[in-house]
Amino acid sequence: MTNDRKYKFSWELLGDIAAGRPNLGNKTSLEVYRLLLFTFRDVLETHVGTEMTDKIFHEAGYLSGKEFYANKLTPTKDLGDFVRELQQVLKDMGIGILRLEQADVETGEFVLTISEDLDCSGLPELDHEICVYDEGFIAALLESFSGIKFKVKEIDCWCTGDRTCRFSAKAVKAEA
């Protein structure tokens, strides 16, 4: 089954947008993006349940982060350079405004925020954080940069009453 995949992702699948959309270009309405996201999440939940839906979104975000790092960022060992370029690309692509609030390189613990986040800013308040996709995305970016696995959890979200999404990221220590 695994060598017989129909939908395996590759960056080329995103297509030649300049050729394909000479008039409309590389832009769409954010409502359309959210329509896709939230209808997917709804239908997935009815088929596989909430927990598996979150797992799928997390994994998709992770795959996205891996591909994004490989295709959009310049490999570097310098945390400052990495964060600066990431901030610029996220802003240029209209994904969000990234800030690194806390960084402890020794322990591998970071707190970062994404304001005006693509997925959730402006949504009605809910009783839970919803940026599971972003958690996977950020984990993959940090892992691609550092070579270390990270566990990322959203701790504040627009949907829980904050005006930014805040994520804690912790390096996963190798088991002894």
**Alpha carbons 13 and 1: distance in angstroms, whole number:** 21
3-state secondary structure of 171: strand
User: Of 115 and 146, which has the nearer Cβ to Zn ion?
Assistant: 115
Q: How far is the CB of 68 from Zn ion (least distance, A)?
A: 18
Q: How far is the CB of 149 from Zn ion (least distance, A)?
A: 22
**Alpha carbons 57 and 68: distance in angstroms, whole number:** 16
Q: What share of the chain is helix, strand, coil (3-state, %, to 5)?
A: 50, 15, 35
User: Of 75 and 122, which has the nearer Cβ to Zn ion?
Assistant: 122
The beta strand positions in the chain, using DSSP E, are 97-104, 109-115, 150-156, 165-171
DSSP class per residue in 143-164: HHHHSS-EEEEEEE-GGGT-SS
Q: How far is the CB of 15 from Zn ion (least distance, A)?
A: 28
Interface with Zn ion (CB under 5 A): 120, 131, 157, 165
Q: How far is the CB of 23 from Zn ion (least distance, A)?
A: 33
User: Of 112 and 120, which has the nearer Cβ to Zn ion?
Assistant: 120
User: Of 152 and 157, which has the nearer Cβ to Zn ion?
Assistant: 157
